[in-house]
Amino acid sequence: MVAVLDSVRAFFAPVTFTIDAENPSDVVPRETLLDRVMGPDRRKKSSEMIRRNRVPAEGLALVARDRDGHVIGTVRLWNVEAGINYEGTPLDALLLGPLAVDGKHGGKGIGSALMRAAILEAKNRGHGAILLVGDADYYERFGFFAEKARHLVMPGPFERSRFLALELVEGWLGGAAGMIVPSGRMLAGAPVRKAA
């Protein structure tokens, strides 16, 4: 039903935004948007531990822009290892987040458009699965379910019912178990931890 309402809304609403690849000039407006939408505690979340000092997955940092080119929405995906498979091999996946839309532009389908664009681009780039921590009622419309992530855990505290997964390749997460750990490229100049 939600997908039908999204389609009807999109049909009658004038086109007021575009989805685009994030570029370096989007960093400050994106961070300002995230601070405003997600609040000051956003950097304390378990997902942030995985993203810290990392670069998003290649081609998977997207923004929504208004008619004047201002950033009004954002979504980014990050390379992770989703535990190990039956053979004990680390399993590549993506972690989505954060997804945010400026409150002044809510209800226009921007979040849904960002999600669909991110999922399609991840699939086109050959990724097997996407994980996220979020509201199941919202993300189930895109195919994310807690069942697919049932044997995986996030570092730090997280709500099991909000830890969701979408397989882009059927069976990709079959047998996956263990901790989600970052595997993407480090941010240039990021501090490197050395083993004791």
Q: Looking at residue 48, what is its pLDDT? A: 84
* Beta-carbon contacts of residue 26 (< 8 Å; ≥ 6 apart): 63, 71, 74
CB atoms within 10 A of CB 12: 7
* pLDDT recorded at residue 3: 47
Mean pLDDT along residues 159-188? 94
Range scoring the smallest mean pLDDT among 18-32, 36-50, 95-109, 122-136:
36-50
What's the mean per-residue pLDDT of the chain? Answer: 89
Position 2 confidence tier, pLDDT thresholds 50, 70, 90: very low
Residue 8 clears pLDDT 90, i.e. is over it: no
